[in-house]
């Protein structure tokens, strides 16, 4: 049931989620955050490779599948982050902003 202060907009749920993510990042060590950043960078690199043509896409397919499956096993938020990076990287590469 909805609480007395719930207007049904769902903004409290999003805000609570962002607060939880911020707390998790703050609790993480600097090394863990650095590894996550490198992981996302590697996903972006293979994505730029995948949009360059058939043979580069063939080379990048297995590493991308493995990276995304590890992200799936890690957490849904990390998978979502990687998928957002893939979409942004494809857009930036197609627009010519990301040279290889």
List pLDDT tens digits, range 17-28: 777 777 776 677
| Segment among 7-11, 25-29, 34-38, 63-67 with least mean pLDDT | 7-11
* Residues 80, 82, 85, 90, CA torsion sign: negative
CB 43 within 8 A of CB 85: yes
Structure tokens at 47: 């994505």
Q: What is the pTM of this model?
A: 0.70
Name the nearest CA neighbour of 67 among 36, 25, 93. Answer: 36
Burial of 79 (0-12, 13-18, 19+ CB in 10 A): middle
């Amino acid at each position: 049931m909805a609480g007395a202060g719930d207007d049904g907009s769902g903004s409290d749920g999003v805000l609570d989620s962002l607060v939880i993510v911020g707390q998790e990042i703050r609790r993480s060590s600097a090394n863990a955050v650095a590894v996550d950043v490198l992981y996302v960078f590697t996903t972006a690199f293979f994505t730029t490779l995948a949009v360059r043509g058939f043979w580069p896409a063939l080379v990048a397919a297995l590493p991308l599948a493995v990276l995304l499956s590890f992200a799936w096993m890690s957490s849904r938020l990390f998978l979502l982050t990687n998928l957002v990076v893939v979409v942004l990287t494809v857009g930036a590469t197609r627009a010519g902003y990301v040279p290889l």
